[in-house]
Structure 1
Amino acid sequence: MTKIKIALCQMNVIDNKQENILKATSMINEAASFDSDFVVLPEMFNCPYSNEKFIEYAEEEKLSSTLDIISKLAKKNEIYILAGSIPEKENSKIYNTSYLFDRKGKIIAKHRKMHLFDVDVKDGIYFKESDTLTPGNEFNVAETEFSKIGMGICYDVRFPQLAQINVKKGAEILFYPGAFNMTTGPAHWELLFRSRALDNQVFCIGVAPALNEDADYHSYGHSIAVNPWGEVICQLEYGEELKIIEIDLDEIKKVREEIPVLKNKRNDLYEIIEK
């Protein structure tokens, strides 16, 4: 199977975990009704983007009510679900963690955000995830019935080495649930997703929360999908929306034959190596 229906769930995230999970449930069920193969939720889909809230909303993986519900939805609908990310607690540490569920509701991969969002843009945005969160240290490529997929979260997209290593491991789709803001979003969101897709000749997909003007942190929204040619095939606006797209993995082979970037790399001179 080379064609995949992917549902981008740009949901409005509020300061109420139960309501957020109900919204995610509604979008997942709707996506399944359109015969989607793969559903993608935003970064911190059950939690406001706030250091204070990361602590309040954090869940242990084995005791997580959020993950239990997503697992049951994946199994009921026989659908893959990339559960954006949630604040995951392990011992005294909190991680920004994404989980991938297969059609049977089993967790087949997880990714802890490797690069923490610590920025201070003059007259723009200040945020320091490291005040609360701990970075992950593992590259995560998951095997699905369609292809291998590479996992990242938001700020991870700015680091081409992560994408390159995931593609070297065989990933044909790079997923980055993210929550860029109203400073970095207009400046860099589309540019980064087009760059990662173009650099590696893969599909690159980002799903964000909708803009909630009542929240302290304003997400840029604009969930996006880019093809291996670097073309934007879908980009939403600011509001809450479910968008279903179809991609064809055969496009990867076609583009790589036309412009054999990966084949022409000078690995005799330079190489990205995973430690």
Structure 2
Amino acid sequence: MSKIKIALCQMNVIDNKQKNISKAISMINEAASHNSDFVVLPEMFNCPYSNDKFVEYAENEKTSFTLDSISKLAKKHQIHILAGSIPEKEDSNIYNTSYLFDKKGNIIAKHRKMHLFDVDVEGGIYFKESDTLTPGNKFTVCETDFGKIGIGICYDVRFPQLAQINVGKGANILFYPGAFNMTTGPAHWELLFRSRALDNQVFCVGVAPALNEDASYHSYGHSIVVNPWGEVICQLGQKEELKIVEINLDEIKKVRNEIPVLKNRRNDLYEIIEK
């Protein structure tokens, strides 16, 4: 399958887990009614983006009501669902974790955010995920009905090495559920997604929560899809919205034939060594 309908669920996340899950269910059901193949939820789609809420909302994978709800929908509609991310608790650790479900409702991949968002921008944003969260240490590339995809989460998109390794493992689409803010979003969101797509000649997809002005953390929104040429083929605004975007994976081969960047890399002089 070369053409894929990807549903971007830019949902409004509030301080109520059940209502957040209900909103996600509603958007997934609507996406399925439009024959979507792949549904993507935002980072922390069931939880306000706040360290204290990460602790309060954290769930164990084996007993997670959130994941069980998404699994049932994937099976019901026979679609792939990338469950943005949730605060995942394992023993004494909490991770920012994304889960990928196949058409049978099975978890076929999980990605724990590798690079924690610890920033202090003068006059802008201060946030330290490391106050609460533990970083993941595994690259996540998974085989799907549409070929291989790579998964990162939000701040992970700033690190080109991660994208390059995932593409080296065969990923043709890079997914980054994210929640940039009103400082970093206008400055870097589109630039980073275009850069990762252009660097690696792949599709790059980011899905964020809508802007909730009542929340302590203000998400920039602007869920985005960029093609292998580095062109933005879809970008939303700040409000809650479901958008279905069709991509054609054949574009990857075309672009790589026209400008063979990957083939022309001087791996005899430099390379990324995965440990």
Provide TM-score, normalisation by structure 1: 1.00
Residue aligning to 2:105: 105
Residue aligning to 2:221: 221
Residue aligning to 1:22: 22
Q: What SS does the corresponding residue of 2:262 show, helix, strand or coil?
A: helix
State how far apart, in whole Å, the 1-side matches of 2:30 and 2:140 are. Answer: 28
Residue deviations 1:73-96, cap 9 Å, x none? Answer: 000000000000000000000000
Residue aligning to 1:202: 202
Residue aligning to 2:71: 71
Which ranges in structure 2 are unaligned for 5 or more consecutive residues?
Answer: none
AA partner of residue 203 (structure 1): F
- The reply to whether residue 270 of structure 1 matches residue 270 of structure 2 is yes
- The reply to whether residue 42 of structure 1 matches residue 42 of structure 2 is yes
State how far apart, in whole Å, the 2-side matches of 1:92 and 1:260 are. Answer: 47
State how far apart, in whole Å, the 1-side matches of 2:105 and 2:250 are. Answer: 28
Q: What SS does the corresponding residue of 1:185 show, helix, strand or coil?
A: helix
Which ranges in structure 1 are unaligned for 5 or more consecutive residues?
Answer: none
Q: What SS does the corresponding residue of 2:233 show, helix, strand or coil?
A: strand
Residue aligning to 1:171: 171
Residue deviations 1:182-219, cap 9 Å, x none? Answer: 00000000000000000000000000000000000000
State how far apart, in whole Å, the 2-side matches of 1:162 and 1:229 are. Answer: 19
State how far apart, in whole Å, the 2-side matches of 1:32 and 1:115 are. Answer: 32
State how far apart, in whole Å, the 2-side matches of 1:272 and 1:175 are. Answer: 21
Residue deviations 1:148-203, cap 9 Å, x none? Answer: 00000000000000000000000000000000000000000000000000000000
State how far apart, in whole Å, the 1-side matches of 2:129 and 2:204 are. Answer: 24
State how far apart, in whole Å, the 1-side matches of 2:210 and 2:237 are. Answer: 8
State how far apart, in whole Å, the 2-side matches of 1:147 and 1:187 are. Answer: 32
Q: How far apart are 1:147 and its partner, in Å?
A: 1.0
State how far apart, in whole Å, the 2-side matches of 1:60 and 1:178 are. Answer: 21
Residue aligning to 1:85: 85
Residue aligning to 1:155: 155
State how far apart, in whole Å, the 1-side matches of 2:73 and 2:145 are. Answer: 19
Q: Which ranges of 4 or more aligned residues in structure 1 deviate by more than 2 Å?
A: none
Root-mean-square deviation (CA, aligned residues, Å) is: 0.2
State how far apart, in whole Å, the 1-side matches of 2:28 and 2:210 are. Answer: 16
Residue aligning to 2:212: 212
Q: What SS does the corresponding residue of 2:13 show, helix, strand or coil?
A: coil
Q: How far apart are 1:112 and its partner, in Å?
A: 0.0
AA partner of residue 179 (structure 1): A
Q: How far apart are 1:273 and its partner, in Å?
A: 1.3
Q: What SS does the corresponding residue of 1:163 show, helix, strand or coil?
A: helix
Q: What SS does the corresponding residue of 1:108 show, helix, strand or coil?
A: strand
Q: Where do 1:217-256 residues align within 5 Å?
A: 217-256=217-256
State how far apart, in whole Å, the 2-side matches of 1:20 and 1:181 are. Answer: 20
AA partner of residue 197 (structure 1): A
Provide TM-score, normalisation by structure 2: 1.00
Residue deviations 1:97-138, cap 9 Å, x none? Answer: 000000000000000000000000000000000000000000
Q: What SS does the corresponding residue of 1:176 show, helix, strand or coil?
A: strand
State how far apart, in whole Å, the 1-side matches of 2:273 and 2:173 are. Answer: 20
Residue aligning to 1:11: 11
* Corresponding pairs, count: 275
State how far apart, in whole Å, the 1-side matches of 2:77 and 2:274 are. Answer: 36
Q: What SS does the corresponding residue of 2:218 show, helix, strand or coil?
A: coil
AA partner of residue 112 (structure 1): R
State how far apart, in whole Å, the 1-side matches of 2:145 and 2:235 are. Answer: 26
User: Identity of counterpart residues, as a percentage?
Assistant: 86
State how far apart, in whole Å, the 1-side matches of 2:115 and 2:145 are. Answer: 29
Residue aligning to 2:115: 115
